[in-house]
């Protein structure tokens, strides 16, 4: 019996679609990367950071439960893998529009989802 990683097809499809979307588009260049490091926060960014807090940590309860139980029962790694793949696109989008909340929260979400998938395969 061969062992195949779940979600492999979905991950490859997400990568291919991302490559197609990002190839040969001059408008995808980051316009002003220096503005991402500006120390002044606007009101919209503060609201963006607060809004991102909830959506970023949506997978955290599953991760904490899995780490406590040392079991992957009831966890679907495909969902976390697909979310992480599309959150990489959100990071790129955040760079394009120079939005710190979009970049920061999606970077953290990618890390949480990657840890969730890694833990799933460790405890499986």
Under 8 Å between Cβ of 96 and 28: yes
For the chain, the domains span 49-124
Which tens digits make up the pLDDT trace of 70-112? 888 888 888 888 888 888 888 888 888 888 888 888 999 888 8
How many degrees, rounded to 5, is the angle at CA 50 between CA 48 and CA 55?
Answer: 90
Rounded Cα distance between 23 and 25, Å, is 6
Under 8 Å between Cβ of 84 and 100: no
Dig out the tokens for 68 from the structure: 């406590």
Residue owning tokens 């919209």: 44
Query: What's the CATH class of domain 49-124?
Result: mainly alpha
Which tens digits make up the pLDDT trace of 28-84? 555 656 656 666 667 777 777 777 777 777 778 888 888 888 888 888 888 888 888
Does the predicted TM-score (pTM) go above 0.75? Answer: no
């Amino acid at each position: 019996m061969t062992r195949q990683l779940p979600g492999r097809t979905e991950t490859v499809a997400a990568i291919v679609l991302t490559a197609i979307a990002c190839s040969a588009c001059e408008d995808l260049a980051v316009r002003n990367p220096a503005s991402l490091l500006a120390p002044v926060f606007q009101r919209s960014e503060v609201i963006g950071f607060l809004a991102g807090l909830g959506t970023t940590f949506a997978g955290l309860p599953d991760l904490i439960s899995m780490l406590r139980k040392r079991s992957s029962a009831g966890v679907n790694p495909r969902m976390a893998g697909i979310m992480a793949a599309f959150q990489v696109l959100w990071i790129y989008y955040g760079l394009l529009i120079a939005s710190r909340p979009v970049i920061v929260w999606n970077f953290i979400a990618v890390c949480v989802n990657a840890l969730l998938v890694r833990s799933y395969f460790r405890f499986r």
